[in-house]
Structure 1
Amino acid sequence: MDNSHPSPLDGRTVVVTGGTRGVGAGIARAFAAAGARVVACARRPPPEKLPAGVEFAPLDLRDPPAVRDFFDALPRLDVLVNNAGGAPYRLLADTDAERHARVIELNLVTPLTASLAAYEHLRRTRGAVVMIGSVSGGRPSPGSAAYGAAKAGLENLARSMAVEWAPEVRVNTLVVGMVRTELSHLHYGGEDGIEAVARTVPLARLAAPADIGAAALFLASDAAAYISGASLLVHGGGERPAFLDAATVNKGE
């Protein structure tokens, strides 16, 4: 007797923007393992061979005509994961408004561009959009203020999109905390820095890209069929409130 079961995303097509490295690669890998055909698009080719089931497509998300052409050429689309983004550490007064605007464009405008280009496909397949947000959008983000502002806007955009595009298309946001990737040392200062930062997280570690991939897969799957306009926190419990460490109560003082 055949006890095999089809994978939850067999036959479905998924596009992951920025899906060739870091968090995006973890997301692409999770969808491929679930049986989907995954297209990972980015401006530059992947740094290493992509896993089985994932193909690379070059795409500059800041070029709206190219984005529209890319989605128009797809035979079908079931899930769009808007993952591409990021920003360097940059204090507000250290550069001009034009540079900050480019950060907002990458992290807010390009997900809107991709979602609009994908809309007709997703409407036909009753598909899903997953925005990759950030805890930076819900708290002060010194050194990445434009990024935090863009991620706050992205979460609000997703809520409005979920209402406008219902019932055909579900739209949700993953609000992601700190993730350990191949670039973590640039942000936290090597292994000692990574371990020190991990100790500030209640679950005592940074997320792995696979953790984000699993959460994105859930929001895109039939298991989340009645979830739309939601924000799912994937941050290991968040940040320990600073006042707890500053308080003198129970410290014998």
Structure 2
Amino acid sequence: MVTGNPLDLTRRVVLVTGGTKGIGAAIAEAFLDAGADVVVCGRTVPDAVPTVRGRAAVFVPADVRDPGAAGRLVDAAVERFGRLDVLVNNAGGSPDADAATVSPRFVEKIVALNLLAPFYVAQAAHRVMRAGAGGSIINIGSVSAHDPQPGTAAYTAAKAGLLGLTRALALEWAPAVRVNHITTGLIRTESAAAVYGADGGDAVARVVPMERMAVPADVARACLFLASGLSGYVNGADLAVHGGGEFPARYLAARSAGRRG
């Protein structure tokens, strides 16, 4: 039974990879707001770190594609705060690329960032968590793992692998460490604005049952749930944060034809 405020994460320590901007920064801010101590990482030093009511995240430079760097990142969090309770594997992404002509180097980099890096950081986090009070690992995935889009072959394969990895680790590491996955859909971020057209995504939002694109805070709140006592029996789950997905093309075509008639 959960007592008190299950979303009060005071004295918990949270590591968010890629937590300096976009979705990662929103996740870091949500955990700071819940009282947690937060460590974020990135390959370059940011102009500012996530901060809430005067409490700031701690930045550690790290390229999580490097297994050694991933281990040192976790060690740095433990050295600073004495423990690690939550890992959010958020770092990822990919530009569109033609599968017929894309270089092997590109494929390797995309798979390394979106699949291998989460594995490396999770291994290091598990080592610490199992020796302490346990913990929660949350992998941020993509709807591409379920519904591929043109131009995303390497990314889709990596994200599908991340979902499979989540389920495998959940089997191996329970009950001390829970491992879960969030399937994200279309998210309105500053860096993605150009992708969704001149209307800022209004047309894209019409294909989503919730009639809007997600905002980073939607993903952040899901992370809070999976890190908290509210999800104490949730393990190996794939939590869809995509507004219901997208309407099928045949439905949109029929609806459009009906309007013209």
Q: TM-score, normalised by structure 1?
A: 0.92
Alpha-carbon offset, residue 251 of structure 1: 3.9
Residue-pair matches, total = 249
Match of 1:211 in 2: 218
Alpha-carbon offset, residue 118 of structure 1: 1.0
Whole-angstrom CA distance in 2 between matches of 1:56 and 1:104 = 24
Alpha-carbon offset, residue 140 of structure 1: 2.0
Query: Which is worse superposed, 208-217 or 238-247?
Result: 238-247
Whole-angstrom CA distance in 1 between matches of 2:238 and 2:6 = 29
Contact preservation (8 Å) 2:71, 2:124: yes
- Verify: 1:184 aligned to 2:187, yes or no: no
Contact preservation (8 Å) 2:194, 2:200: no
Structure 1 residues without counterparts, runs of 5 or longer: none
Match of 2:181 in 1: 173
Cα deviations by residue, 1:22-71 (Å, 9 ceiling, x for unpaired): 01011101111111000011111224342124121111112211221222
49, 71, 74: which one aligns with 2:74: 71
Match of 1:230 in 2: 237
Alpha-carbon offset, residue 92 of structure 1: 0.6
Match of 2:44 in 1: 44
Runs (4+) of structure 1 moved beyond 3 Å? Answer: 4-7, 250-253
- Calculate the aligned-residue CA RMSD, in Å: 2.1
Question: Taking every aligned residue pair, what percent have the same amino acid on both sides?
Answer: 49
Q: TM-score, normalised by structure 2?
A: 0.90
* Residues 111 and 241 of structure 1: CA distance in aligned 2, closer, same or farther (over 3 Å): same
Indicate the SS of the match to 1:125.
coil
Cα deviations by residue, 1:165-218 (Å, 9 ceiling, x for unpaired): 01100000000001111112231233x141111121111111111111000110
- Verify: 1:221 aligned to 2:224, yes or no: no
1:45-194 matches, within 5 Å, as 45-51=45-51, 52-73=55-76, 74=78, 75-123=82-130, 124-190=132-198, 192-194=199-201
Contact preservation (8 Å) 2:6, 2:228: no
* Paired AA for residue 246 in structure 1: A
* Paired AA for residue 94 in structure 2: A
Query: Which is worse superposed, 22-31 or 51-60?
Result: 51-60
Alpha-carbon offset, residue 164 of structure 1: 0.2
Match of 2:11 in 1: 11
Whole-angstrom CA distance in 1 between matches of 2:67 and 2:60 = 16
Whole-angstrom CA distance in 2 between matches of 1:17 and 1:41 = 5
Indicate the SS of the match to 2:63.
coil
Match of 1:23 in 2: 23
Contact preservation (8 Å) 2:49, 2:57: no
Alpha-carbon offset, residue 146 of structure 1: 0.8
* Residues 227 and 204 of structure 1: CA distance in aligned 2, closer, same or farther (over 3 Å): same
* Paired AA for residue 96 in structure 2: Y
Contact preservation (8 Å) 1:104, 1:147: yes
Whole-angstrom CA distance in 2 between matches of 1:59 and 1:186 = 28
Indicate the SS of the match to 1:25.
helix
Match of 1:241 in 2: 248
* Paired AA for residue 69 in structure 1: R
Indicate the SS of the match to 2:180.
strand
